[in-house]
Amino acid sequence: MKRAVENKCESIAFPLISSGIYGYPKDEALQVATSTIQDFLADHDLDVTLVVFDKSAFTISCELLGAVESYIDEHYVDTHQIRRRQLLDVEREALYEADEGISKYNKPIFEEMIAPSVGASAPLDDLVGNLDEPFSQMLLRLIDVKELKDVEVYKRANLDRKLFSKIRSNKGYTPSKRTAIALAVALELSLNETDDLLERAGYALSHAAKFDVIVEYFITNGKYDVFEINEVPFEYDQPLLGG
């Protein structure tokens, strides 16, 4: 990496070969590589890609993986399809009766659902004129509140300087969802704060997306190391945070 900087390279990629043919412990190899990269990037601006041959080239903590798996089992909606269908069946039975069509007990609820909303809707000009604080503006405000520097934030988020500069300079710029989440992680936001920031870019964390559930696990448990987080989505064939 030093040689890359000396030669004015903007990016570098190298393989994690020590955990392959040389048989170095896989978990230690990954930890040493990522920590070394992080330490170097603290003082240098360089796009570094760590290449692994396949998933067998490294292992992550069994304790961490087990905790994430438990969280996914509890929150990922695809693991609860049968239970959700059962709940829907119960709801349908409560709303409809075989003879009358609509349950008397639930009739007021049903009528409220189909009743037209009361009052005139707001004019479009009023809605457009009262937009929420845009993503870029909120991000910069949070950076100031957290008393952080821009460079700290985009490096913690695993983003390059050019992308962050684009977000900072363009008030109306909308980053990708992965970029927005990475910035929330870099700022060490709570789950509610993360939801609020994502909303400004038109996104939301969803229990219908495994990637979102994985990220939610780390945020709710106060774990904000992007490199550690990215080990788990990689294990589940999900996209990674940052660049």
Model pLDDT for residues 179-224, shown as the tens digit of each residue: 999 999 999 999 999 999 999 999 999 998 999 999 999 999 999 9
Q: Confidence band (pLDDT; 50, 70, 90) for 105?
A: very low
Residue 113 has what pLDDT? 41
For residue 30, give the nearest of 184, 243, 211, 234 by alpha carbon.
234
Q: Is the pLDDT of residue 118 over 60?
A: no
Between CA 143 and CA 168 the distance in angstroms is: 11
Residue 171 has what pLDDT? 85
Count CA atoms within 13 Å of residue 22 on its CB side: 10
Q: Is the pLDDT of residue 157 over 80?
A: yes
Of 39-48, 135-144, 161-170, 183-192, the poorest mean pLDDT is in 39-48
Task: Write down the pTM of the prediction.
Answer: 0.65
Backbone angles phi, psi at 49, to 5 degrees: -115, 125
Of 17-31, 38-52, 75-89, 91-105, the poorest mean pLDDT is in 91-105
Between CA 128 and CA 60 the distance in angstroms is: 47
Give the contacts of 14 (CB within 8 A, at least 6 positions apart): 49, 50, 51
Q: Is the pLDDT of residue 144 over 50?
A: yes
* Residue with more model confidence, 82 or 237: 237
Q: Is the pLDDT of residue 137 over 50?
A: yes
For residue 183, give the nearest of 213, 208, 203, 207 by alpha carbon.
203
Residue 120 has what pLDDT? 53
Q: Is the pLDDT of residue 48 over 90?
A: no
What is the helix (H) or strand (E) element at residue 48, kind and residue range? Answer: strand 47-51
- The answer to whether 4 touches 40, Cβ cutoff 8 Å, is no
For range 85-96, the mean pLDDT: 54
Between CA 12 and CA 46 the distance in angstroms is: 8
Q: Is the pLDDT of residue 72 over 60?
A: yes
